[in-house]
């Protein structure tokens, strides 16, 4: 694995390798990298979890993290992404983790760049490290993907998390269901009511409404969205005993999920954050190992 750009590029074997390595790291295994690698995190969109989690993961496997402040970088002076990344390569970096607003921003980096590129989210495109940490969370819980009923609910067409997970989970044998208002279904065949889904789901994965990606900002009522598409306290009571709740966060409490459910027994929302560090250690280690 030279880069990590989209879940569509990963083989099933590569996915399982990363999940197994994440488990090994969680069990206390140390990094087997032979040298110190230099990495930088280029975040051109807001982030709390992903940026901090990558930095923690990088440090835990012995990388040197070179500070990069997107808001004060030469991109604000008109420099292209290609020239910025090429510059960091010439300075001596081994890998860059990038989050940007444009879908598939990484296409301009595919030739001429030798530093490894890890996509930490491209617009409404993909978010592969989130998907891998979600897969890790599901595998830890159920030990398998085949036959699980997984409902992804929310702003499907604008969500890079939904798109990354849809591809990966279907390939791994899960039955993936989508639930959203009609205008957010995009190319997905979606349900528009919880009726057939709440009682059969093993995993309910909620998504934040991506207001920042809506071209037309229609009026939006948090209360009616919560009543129609959110996970309310009443709906949670209808879930299977073994079913879990996931959300990539940030959570908008009482919109996509009732505030009281965020840390309820079946919620794995904060556990996902913890799992993210091991998963990102596994991603970076796998990529850097190939460069040694
Ligand atoms: N943190 C996730 C992302 O960057 C989910 C979200 O922002 O709603 O896509």
The full set of domains in the chain, from first to last, is: 7-126+273-291 (3.40.50.1370), 128-270 (3.40.50.1370)
Mean pLDDT throughout 24-45? 98
Asked if residue 121 has its Cβ within 6 Å of ligand 1, the reply is yes
The share of the chain scoring above pLDDT 70, in percent, equals 100
Tell me which DSSP letter residue 241 carries: T
For residue 153, the CA-to-ligand 1 centroid distance in Å is 14
Q: CA 33, CA 63: separation in Å to the nearest integer?
A: 9
How high is the pLDDT of residue 219?
85
The protein residue whose alpha carbon is closest to atom 4 in ligand 1 is: 121
Q: CA 37, CA 289: separation in Å to the nearest integer?
A: 10
Cβ atoms < 10 Å from Cβ of 199: 13
Give the 3-state secondary structure of residue 178. strand
pLDDT at 217 over 80: no
HSE-up of 211 (CA within 13 Å, CB side)? 9
Mean pLDDT throughout 172-179? 98
Atom of ligand 1 nearest to the CA of 99: 4
pLDDT at 172 over 80: yes
**Residues pairing with 244 in the sheet:** 203
Dihedral-angle region of residue 256 (phi above 0 means left; psi in -120 to 50 means alpha; beta otherwise): alpha
How high is the pLDDT of residue 79?
96
49 annotated as a binding-site residue: yes
Asked if residue 160 has its Cβ within 6 Å of ligand 1, the reply is yes
Please say whether the beta carbons of 197 and 191 come within 8 A. yes
Q: CA 80, CA 247: separation in Å to the nearest integer?
A: 33
How high is the pLDDT of residue 218?
76
Q: CA 86, CA 84: separation in Å to the nearest integer?
A: 6
User: Mean pLDDT lowest for which of 159-173, 179-193, 215-229?
Assistant: 215-229
Mean of per-residue pLDDT scores for the chain: 97
């Amino acid at each position: 694995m030279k880069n990590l750009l989209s879940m569509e590029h990963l083989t099933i074997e590569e996915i399982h390798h990363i999940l197994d390595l994440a488990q090994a790291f969680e069990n206390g295994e140390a990094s087997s990298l032979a040298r110190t690698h230099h990495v930088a995190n280029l975040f051109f969109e807001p982030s709390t979890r992903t940026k901090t989690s990558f930095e923690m993961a990088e440090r835990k496997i012995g990388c040197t993290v070179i500070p990069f402040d997107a808001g004060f970088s030469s991109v604000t002076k008109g420099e292209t992404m290609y020239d910025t990344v090429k510059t960091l390569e010439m300075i001596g970096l081994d890998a860059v983790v990038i989050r940007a607003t444009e879908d598939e921003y990484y296409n301009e980096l595919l030739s001429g760049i030798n530093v490894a590129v890890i996509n930490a989210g491209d617009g409404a495109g993909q978010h592969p490290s989130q998907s891998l940490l979600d897969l890790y969370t599901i595998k830890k819980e159920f030990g398998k993907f085949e036959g699980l009923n997984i409902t992804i609910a929310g702003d499907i067409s604008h969500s890079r998390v939904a798109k990354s997970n849809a591809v990966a989970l279907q390939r791994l044998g899960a039955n993936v269901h989508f639930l959203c208002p009609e205008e957010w279904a995009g190319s997905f065949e979606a349900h528009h009511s919880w009726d057939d889904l709440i009682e059969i789901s093993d995993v309910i994965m909620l998504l934040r409404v991506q207001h920042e990606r809506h071209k037309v900002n229609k009026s939006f009522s948090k209360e009616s969205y919560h009543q129609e598409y959110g996970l309310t306290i009443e709906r949670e009571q209808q879930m299977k005993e073994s079913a879990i709740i996931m959300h990539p966060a940030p959570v908008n409490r009482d919109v996509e999920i009732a505030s009281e459910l965020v840390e309820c027994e079946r919620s794995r929302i904060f556990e996902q954050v913890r799992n993210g560090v091991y998963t990102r250690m596994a991603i970076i280690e796998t990529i850097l190992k190939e460069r040694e």
